[in-house]
Amino acid sequence: MDEGGCAFAVIFAFPRSRKTFYATAFMSLEAIYQTIPHRPPFLFIDEIVEVTENGATAKRTIREDEPQFEGHYPGNPIMPGVLLCESIFQTAAIFLANHKVDADTDSTTLTPVLVRIQDARFKRMVKPGDEITIEVTYLSQVHQFHQLRGRVLKDGKPAMMLECTLALIDEGKAAKEA
């Protein structure tokens, strides 16, 4: 495994972009830390299984000792739907960092910001002990706004789904302009 935590990577070059794209077959927690600013207890993905040209797939095991279960709900813990949404947003941020960042942009200064949530639907409860798969599919881009579709699967069946728009805000550029 290399220093970035990627066990396997295939390099693709896109003719319209100066960006080299890595189709990652596995991304460790350390590599996730290097890619997005989220940290426990507000990190809701354990590993990235795959990042492709069109999307990303992540996994997460829901643990009993997570702080949200102290109040949601004692004696009958259920993973809050907004945190399932957040797992999609974090997977989307990793996809964008690996695929939609220009070669001349320092990705360490980019912050993924949620702009819009559309059509969120919740189908199945997720509880401690469940392993979920988070899938994100890229839909379109208008300027710095990226539209994606996401879903959380439990036992191979949809637990929830949504569409969202994220923007990549360049904090480094904003600081230089200030």
Domain parsing of the chain, residue ranges: 9-177
| Annotated catalytic residue, options 72, 99, 143, 146 | 72
| Confidence check: pLDDT of 84 > 90 | yes
- pLDDT the model gives residue 35: 87
* Mean pLDDT score of the chain: 84
Report field, pTM of the whole predicted structure over 0.75 = yes
Of 118, 127, 50, nearest to 83 by C-alpha is 127
pLDDT band at 107 (very low <50, low <70, confident <90, very high): low
Q: Rounded to the nearest 5 degrees, what angle is found at the Cα of 50, between the Cα atoms of 86 and 64?
A: 45
Half-sphere exposure (CA, 13 Å, Cβ side) for 35?
Answer: 27
Q: Is 143 a catalytic residue?
A: no
- pLDDT the model gives residue 99: 81
At the topology level of CATH, where does 9-177 sit?
Thiol Ester Dehydrase; Chain A (3.10.129)
SS3 127: coil
Q: What is the pLDDT of residues 27-53, one digit of tens each?
A: 889 999 988 889 999 999 999 999 999
- Distance between the two ends of the chain, CA-based, in angstroms? 40
